[in-house]
Chains A and B, each alone.
Chain A
Amino acid sequence: MNNHDFILKIEDLSIAFGGLKAVDSLSFEIKEKEIFGLIGPNGAGKTTVFNCITQFYKPDRGKVFFKNKDGQVEDLVGKRPHEIISKGLVRTFQNIELIRELSVIDNVLVGSHIEFKASLLSQLFRLPKARREERDLRKKAEEVLKYMGLYHIKDQLVAGQPYGILKKIELARTLMLNPKLIILDEPAAGLNDTETIELMEIVKEIRERLNTTILLVEHDMKFVNNLCDRICAISFGKLLAIGSPEEIQANEEVQIAYLGKGDE
């Protein structure tokens, strides 16, 4: 396999909280344009892996190689959390992290924060540069909202929107920068069946349209099996198996981790 085939490669990742090894020597790699699922029972360390990739946590050991926007491979470990997005890696959160007091479109615009370049002075006096920048990016945000079917509520506040809509807004926020890799933390949690199916279509379409790779954590196995090209199953921070949805379903260790051992 070509060394540059991957977009994200995790090597020997470990992090412990006190005595608890949340992630233990985990390695896997994600190919470009893949939809990759990370599954595991509750407390398996899935979100911790995400936090280690996006540098919200500093891993004790291991490397997180990422092929950035310029096609160069670099290790993300040691970078500050706010530097990660500029490499082309955006994430969503398990408990939606939107700003309730801002309108839907303003929330989406936060997603392109790093594209704004106008100086403070220019913003204070609304000089042409700041105005132009704001107008252009607002237009882009409107396009993203149209694409997600949220355009009609763009000026409404986020507070009070239904859960399914909030999930969509958060997803829209990740699209503002045409990222190389989108990390979704339980995107289908709390959605009903119709919304889940709709989300599945949206995720697939995003991959095609934006040429992006998607890494997701999800509990809804139907969702994962139908959507993901490959799945990585972990339990207690350790790798159980990597493979296609069929392979994972048939894997004995995965079954034991989820359902426990059969009667002796």
Chain B
Amino acid sequence: MEKRENKLIQVYKSKKPYSDYILFGILLIILPILVDFGLIKYSYLTTIASILIFSIVALGLNLLVGYSGLISLGTAGFMGLGTYLAAYITKDLNLPFEISLLISVLVPMVIGILTGLVSLRIEGYYLAIATLAISEILRKGFVEFEVVTNGFSGKQASYPTLLGFLELGRNGSFIMIVVFLIGIMILTYNLINSYTGRALSTMRGSEAAAQAMGINIFKYRLLAFAVAVAYSALGGVLYMHFVKYTYPNAWTLTLSLNILAVIIIGGIRSIPGTILGAFVVFGVPDLILKRLPIIGDIDGAAYIFNGVLIIIIILFYPLGLIHIRNDLKKIKFKLRKRKESYSEQS
């Protein structure tokens, strides 16, 4: 049995998943067309767009938590910083979207690297609290730094204009989000399957082994933080140009915890798992729960749903919901085996 399980793992690891990712992207791009034909409600599209954006953010956190073994509760703060920078640069400074994208990702990244420096001294719960503090400082900044952020009333932006002339509408922006997500999925896959990915995993698994093999812990911790924060900020920029509105209280600890829930529910160290998790955490409450009788009327049904789900998943699928597919494969295998033995008997 052991050998067969290993064989299964071997099979789905050996093939590159690019085509799966791209197929997934194409399916997503069809959605706005269905909306135009009135087959799907417009509000669904908005929910799905935010799921995709949070998927990007969660992929970054998965790299940090799943691969490097670090923790961050500052995700929301960095995502918020991305939204504000994007809004300020495109609206107030009137600079093109591309420049805004670059700056709005790079600035949080630098702050992320500084956070990484903190991680060299503290770990575990303490690191979680330190990153939470950084996130709260950022959020306080969104409130107080009114000249740029407009304080509590929040800030607005519009759909992006690419290359200075290509004005994207709602559908165009949705497609842009999909393209970014698929791109990020591919890049993340490449990264975790490169020597950098192995170094991150080694750092998580055994710091002693990492050092003995010449892996500079300092460098790779900073790298992990830089990538995670860059993904968060990118998510922020995309959010700003799709939702078109940002305000301080959108970027609280709740969001950071939800994104952590995404990777725990979906699958730690799994790219498809992260996407699945985002659909479960951000999608199910909006798309399904709210539309159910009675349950839909309960305030905070989403919290209850996520809480119960996390408990169930930690009990039965500690590595995430995505690992159901291994069980399904096993069941299929057993059924086939049983069929074979029946036919042998008869």
Contacts and interface: CB of A to CB of B under 8 A. Distances in A.
Contacts of A123: 190-191, 194-196
Contacts of B208: 56, 93, 97
A106 B2 contact: no
Given A120-B196, A124-B187, A130-B194, A113 B214 contact: yes
A113 B210 CA distance: 9
B196 to A, nearest CB: 6
Nearest to A130: B194
Interface stretch (A28-36, A152-160, A253-261): A152-160
15 contacts: A82-B213, A82-B215, A97-B206, A99-B202, A100-B205, A110-B215, A113-B198, A113-B199, A116-B195, A118-B194, A124-B187, A126-B190, A153-B6, A156-B9, A157-B6
**Could you say which of A99, A116, A120, A153 has the most chain B C-beta atoms within 10 Å of its C-beta?**
A99
B202 A156 contact: no
Interface in A67-97: 81-86, 90-91, 93, 97
Given A101-B269, A123-B196, A155 B214 contact: no
Interface in B195-245: 195-196, 198-199, 201-202, 204-206, 208-217, 223
Contact of A124 (B190, B206, B212, B217): B190
Contacts, number: 104
Interface residues of A, number: 39
B2 A160 contact: yes
Nearest to A133: B195
B325 interface: no
B112 to A, nearest CB: 15
A103 interface: yes
A98 interface: yes
A55 to B, nearest CB: 9
B346 interface: no
B10 interface: yes
B80 to A, nearest CB: 26
Nearest to B204: A99
A103 B10 CA distance: 9
Contacts of A125: 187, 190
Nearest to B16: A126
B183 to A, nearest CB: 10
Interface of A: 54, 56, 81-86, 90-91, 93, 97-103, 106, 109-111, 113-114, 116, 118, 120, 123-126, 130, 134, 153, 155-157, 160, 173
B213 A111 contact: yes
A210 B129 CA distance: 49
A124 B212 CA distance: 25
B191 to A, nearest CB: 6
B214 A156 contact: no
Nearest to A89: B212
Q: Which of B213, B215, B223 has the most CB of A within 10 A?
A: B213
B201 A101 contact: yes
Nearest to A91: B212
A82 B6 CA distance: 33
Contact of B205 (A56, A98, A113, A130): A98
Nearest to B217: A82
Contacts of B204: 99
Interface string B272-291: 00000000000000000000
A233 to B, nearest CB: 26
Nearest to B219: A82
Contacts of A134: 194-195
A85 B198 contact: no
B14 interface: yes
A81 B190 CA distance: 28
B13 interface: yes
A157 B169 CA distance: 47
B6 A110 contact: no
Q: Which interface residue of A84, A153, A156 has the most chain B CB atoms within 10 A?
A: A156
Given A81-B211, A91-B212, A106-B198, A99 B190 contact: no
Given A113-B214, A125-B190, A134-B194, 18 more contacts: A56-B208, A82-B215, A83-B214, A99-B206, A102-B198, A102-B201, A106-B201, A110-B198, A110-B215, A118-B194, A118-B195, A120-B196, A126-B194, A130-B194, A155-B9, A155-B10, A156-B9, A157-B9
Contacts of B213: 82, 85, 90, 110-111, 113-114, 173
Interface in B104-123: none
A102 B6 CA distance: 12
B211 A82 contact: yes
A156 to B, nearest CB: 4
B147 to A, nearest CB: 36
A255 to B, nearest CB: 34
Nearest to A137: B195
Nearest to B197: A123
Contacts of A84: 212, 214
Contact of B212 (A81, A99, A118): A81
